[in-house]
Amino acid sequence: MSNEKKSPDNGRRKALKGLIGLPFVGGVLIGAYAESRKRKLAKRNILDELKIEAMRPESSADLSGDPIRVGIIGYGGRGQHLVRLLGFALPSWVARMKEEENEGAIEAFREQENLNVKLTGVCDVFDVYAEEAVAAFPDCKRYRTYEEMLNSPDIDAVVIATPDHWHAPISIAALQVGKHVYVEKPMTHNIRETYELREAARNSKAVFQVGHQHRQTQSFITARDIIKKKVLGHVSLVQTNTNRNDDNGAWQYDIHEKASPNTIDWDQFLGNAPRIPFNKEHFFRWRKWWAYGSGLSGDLMTHDYDRINCVLEMGMPKYVTASGGIYTHNDGREVPDVFQVTMEYPDFSTGSSRQKGIEKGMTFMYSATLGNQFNRSTILMGHDGTMELGNTLTIFADPGSTRYLDMIESNLIQPDVPIYSYNPEAEQVDAITSATAKYFADKGLLWTYRDGKRVDSGLLHLKEWLNAIRHGTPVSCGIQEGFEEAMSAHMGGLAWKLGRRIEWDPVNEEIIALPGENLDEILLSTNVGEYTAMES
Amino acid sequence: MQYSKNQLFFLAALRILVGWHFLYEGLIKVFNPGWTSKAYLLSAEGPLSFFFKWLGGSALATAADIITIAALIGIGLALILGAFEKVAAIAGIALLAMFYLSHPPLPGLENAGPSEGNYFIVNKNLIEMAALGVLAYFPTAHLLGLGYYLKNKASAEAGQHITG
């Protein structure tokens, strides 16, 4: 009886028990929707504000037609690498990769794009290198001297990967006979030949490219757009670095077992360098001596200078100072292994978000050690933001920014979380809005190339050069860029040797020398103690 | 199984809370079309990292994303609404085991992922796995949840529910 009375109420209660989960599902739905809407809005606001156009890798160039006949001059480590990018790998390299269990390198070589090139000549003063190329590649003929190669009708273009002191003389000779030139950095070894090479390039119809392959790195092209859109505001300081801590990084290369006066054309190696007796160490570790190499300023700072010049187009510095010494590899070398350069650009500006005239001028700083490999990244420091630049690109708003003041105050932007990150491999541009994403961004995991094809920027740089030869398209590191790179490096070398601030005269386009100073002589001088002598 | 009122309350609360966590994680990923498990997989550590790294780099990564989202939402809904709770709980344990194994909190592993606490072998994934184990073997859906109808329907069909 009592059961009958209670039954409708009981049924309702039981129904409620069955549906107890429903309100919770509703709660989660509302919560997730609101949260994702908030994130999307924040992201859209930031991207709308920045208006950055992320550049995509360009579509492939037309490489059809007869192959371009290329000769390699200087077939050592770097030369062999460039020739591999052109499509020619030595069997000994393949064997070495197998031995080192680096099958990935072999696979990457097999999969790399065919640039439609014929390797028709090799010129190397070390018999072993030259003979290996001749034995491995059927069309490849050995030329004893570069002049012989340049005068050959079988050669359209040359890749120059010699020691630095041969870059300009060979480039000039090649351009004068109309052969296209791809020359490794630094473009020149002294001041005089920098002018001579510029003259030769201007007067030649041949295509000239300096081997700063990072100009092909897509993040750098996007970085240019970011600067143009004034995302960082006025950039007052740029910090670049080299950090290495191994023998190879300190230019202690292996000395080949077959090296001898019989297998090396020593006189030709020396070229315009001071005559000294045969010396294996000078031959294989030439980067350690001013007579053939350029020290950290020409060898590695040029990379960073050109990277930044590619993004900012700041050109020649007004003043350059340098410091450093031989602190980590006191093994008889002449060039410093710890080295700092500051370049002053008093009139340069990337734009300002503050009152007119208050912001102008920039310092480019390069700092290097060959005795520690802690990763210091390249950083462009602006009033409104900071750009960390590498293969990927990350931007942080500055807490003191004028441009982003409102967005920071309204919590749309958090200064410790990147407002923009760019990865050429990713599907989409992202404004990172969570700490987790930042964690992965910091680790570089959002943009590893593990699954995709990794294209060597050197290949793209060579391809651009070959495309220019075929179709007359522009190159990204031509004579003007090379001139600025080489002259800036020479100013750095001079500043270190002289221990004083070196000044550039922009009207006459020359480095200002004091009366009686022969700057080229100072730049190439072998006296290590010279600069300390000037200090005292 | 007979529960006291308090036992039932906390068991059901545990079921709904764990379900909430799964459902929210799943929905957030649905609403964020840019989400991918790739970075998480590629940063895997520990003895099985080779498998997760391979998965993250392979063409299956997209499938892994879809399966993860579907599993999170499915398990979440089942636990909150109270239906197929045992299947959902066991599936949840399997999913969490993958998360746990890809970033195990073992000493010496640096990349165990961003976290707000400090963990040694035991982390929240492992605890949530144990909680799901409890839910699998202490069912509550037939008392509080859609399981109530399923049970009654099943009983009716079996002719066990006697009506006057």
Give A331's DSSP letter.
S
Using alpha carbons, list the distances in angstroms from residue A31 to A25, A86, A378, B116, B139: 10, 56, 40, 22, 27
**Facing A443 at nearest CB: one of B43, B58, B81:** B43
3-state helix, strand, coil in chain B (%, to 5): 65, 0, 35
Return d(Cα B148, Cα B154) in angstroms, integer.
10
- The residues facing A141 across adjacent strands are A121
Q: Is residue A162 part of a domain?
A: yes
Return d(Cα A263, Cα A270) in angstroms, integer.
15
- The residues facing B82 across adjacent strands are none
**Facing B57 at nearest CB: one of A37, A39, A450:** A450
Return d(Cα B162, Cα B67) in angstroms, integer.
43
Return d(Cα A343, Cα A226) in angstroms, integer.
22
Q: Which residues of B touch A29 (CB under 8 A)?
A: 27
**Min CA distance, A246 vs chain B (Å)?**
25
**Min CA distance, A170 vs chain B (Å)?**
45
Using alpha carbons, list the distances in angstroms from residue A44 to A48, A121, A222: 6, 55, 19
A117-123 and A68-73 strand pairing: parallel
**Min CA distance, A60 vs chain B (Å)?**
24
* Three-state DSSP state, B106: coil
Q: Which tokens hold the place of A146?
A: 């570069």
Mean pLDDT of A256-284: 97
Q: Is residue A16 part of a domain?
A: no
Q: pLDDT value at position A332?
A: 92
Q: Which residue, among B32, B37, B72, would best test binding to A if mutated, counting the most A CBs under 10 Å from its CB?
A: B32
Helices vs. strands in chain B: H and E counts, helices first: 7, 0
Query: How many Å from the N-terminal Cα to the C-terminal Cα in chain A?
Result: 115
CATH number at residue A109: 3.40.50.720
Q: Is residue A443 part of a domain?
A: no
Kindly report, residue by residue over A222-243, the tens digit of the pLDDT: 888 899 989 999 999 999 999 8
Residue B59's H or E segment, with its range, is: none
pLDDT over 90 at A162, yes or no: yes
Calculate the CA A376 to chain-centre distance: 15
* Three-state DSSP state, A114: coil
Q: pLDDT value at position A137?
A: 97
Q: Which residues of B touch A39 (CB under 8 A)?
A: 32
Q: Which residue, among A4, A19, A28, A436, would best test binding to B if mutated, counting the most B CBs under 10 Å from its CB?
A: A28
Mean pLDDT of A287-304: 95
Return d(Cα A243, Cα A378) in angstroms, integer.
12
Q: How confident is the model at residue A12 (pLDDT cuts 50, 70, 90)?
A: confident
Mean pLDDT of A243-271: 94
Higher pLDDT, B41 or A48: B41
Cβ atoms of A57 and A454 within 8 Å: the answer is no
Return d(Cα A44, Cα B103) in angstroms, integer.
32
**Facing A36 at nearest CB: one of B32, B80, B143:** B32
Using alpha carbons, list the distances in angstroms from residue A470 to A338, A398, A458, B107, B118: 43, 46, 18, 58, 61
Cβ atoms of A501 and A264 within 8 Å: the answer is no
Q: pLDDT value at position B44?
A: 83
Total number of domains in chain A: 1
**Min CA distance, B18 vs chain A (Å)?**
12
CB atoms closer than 10 angstroms to residue A501: 14
- The residues facing A380 across adjacent strands are A238, A387
Q: Is residue A209 part of a domain?
A: yes
Cβ atoms of A527 and A498 within 8 Å: the answer is no
pLDDT over 90 at B126, yes or no: yes
Contact B77 A25 (CB under 8 A): yes
Q: Which residues of B touch A35 (CB under 8 A)?
A: 28, 31
pLDDT over 70 at A454, yes or no: no
CB atoms closer than 10 angstroms to residue A11: 10
Return d(Cα A299, Cα B35) in angstroms, integer.
42
Q: Is residue A230 part of a domain?
A: no
Q: Tell me the backbone φ, ψ of residue A11, rounded to 5 degrees.
A: -60, -45
Return d(Cα A346, Cα A482) in angstroms, integer.
22
**Min CA distance, A4 vs chain B (Å)?**
10
Mean pLDDT of B8-29: 96
Contact A21 B27 (CB under 8 A): no
Q: Is residue A119 part of a domain?
A: yes
Cβ atoms of B82 and B15 within 8 Å: the answer is yes
Q: Which residues form the domain of A123?
A: 68-216+458-478
Cβ atoms of A496 and A337 within 8 Å: the answer is no
Q: How confident is the model at residue B62 (pLDDT cuts 50, 70, 90)?
A: confident
Q: How many Cα atoms occupy the beta-carbon half-sphere of A273 within 13 Å?
A: 25
pLDDT over 60 at A448, yes or no: no
**Facing A18 at nearest CB: one of B16, B19, B146:** B146
Q: pLDDT value at position A55?
A: 58
Q: Which tokens hold the place of A127?
A: 């018999």
**Min CA distance, A3 vs chain B (Å)?**
11
Contact B43 A17 (CB under 8 A): no
Q: Of B66, B46, B44, B47, nearest to B55 (Cα)?
A: B44
**Facing B39 at nearest CB: one of A18, A25, A440:** A440
| Inter-chain Cβ pairs, chain A and chain B, closer than 8 A | 85
**Min CA distance, A109 vs chain B (Å)?**
20
Contact A428 B146 (CB under 8 A): no
Residues sharing a CB contact under 8 Å with residue B135, sequence separation 6 or more, in sequence order: B11, B14, B15, B18, B79, B85, B89
Q: Of A402, A412, A408, A340, nearest to A376 (Cα)?
A: A340
pLDDT over 80 at A115, yes or no: yes
Kindly report, residue by residue over B88-108, the tens digit of the pLDDT: 999 999 999 999 999 888 877
Return d(Cα A162, Cα A72) in angstroms, integer.
9
- Residue keyed to tokens 């990172």: A432
Q: Is residue A307 part of a domain?
A: no
Q: Tell me the backbone φ, ψ of residue A185, rounded to 5 degrees.
A: -85, 160
Q: Which tokens hold the place of B101?
A: 């194994």
Q: pLDDT value at position A430?
A: 46
The residue of chain A nearest to residue B27, with distances taken between CA atoms, is A32
| DSSP string across A64-112 | -SSPEEEEEE--SHHHHHHHHHTT---HHHHHHHHHTT-HHHHHHHHHS
Residues sharing a CB contact under 8 Å with residue A133, sequence separation 6 or more, in sequence order: A72, A75, A83, A88, A90, A119, A122, A124, A140, A142
pLDDT over 50 at A352, yes or no: yes
Return the percentage of chain A with pLDDT > 90, whole number: 68
pLDDT over 50 at B160, yes or no: no
Q: Tell me the backbone φ, ψ of residue A209, rounded to 5 degrees.
A: -135, 135
Q: Which residue, among B9, B14, B20, would best test binding to A if mutated, counting the most A CBs under 10 Å from its CB?
A: B20
Contact B114 A31 (CB under 8 A): no
Residues sharing a CB contact under 8 Å with residue A406, sequence separation 6 or more, in sequence order: none
- The residues facing A45 across adjacent strands are none
Mean pLDDT of A399-413: 89
CB atoms closer than 10 angstroms to residue A443: 14
Residues sharing a CB contact under 8 Å with residue A73, sequence separation 6 or more, in sequence order: A79, A123, A124, A146, A149, A158, A159, A160, A161, A162, A166, A170
Cβ atoms of A497 and A521 within 8 Å: the answer is no
A362-369 and A378-382 strand pairing: unpaired
CB atoms closer than 10 angstroms to residue A161: 24
Cβ atoms of A85 and A109 within 8 Å: the answer is no
- Residue keyed to tokens 């409620």: A16
Q: Which tokens hold the place of A165?
A: 């002191």
Cβ atoms of A181 and A149 within 8 Å: the answer is no
Quote the mean pLDDT of chain A: 88
Calculate the CA A13 to chain-centre distance: 72
Q: Is residue A36 part of a domain?
A: no
Kindly report, residue by residue over A198-224, the tens digit of the pLDDT: 999 999 999 999 999 888 777 777 888
**Facing B24 at nearest CB: one of A28, A40, A428:** A28
Q: pLDDT value at position A446?
A: 35
The residue of chain B nearest to residue A439, with distances taken between CA atoms, is B114
Cβ atoms of A497 and A242 within 8 Å: the answer is no
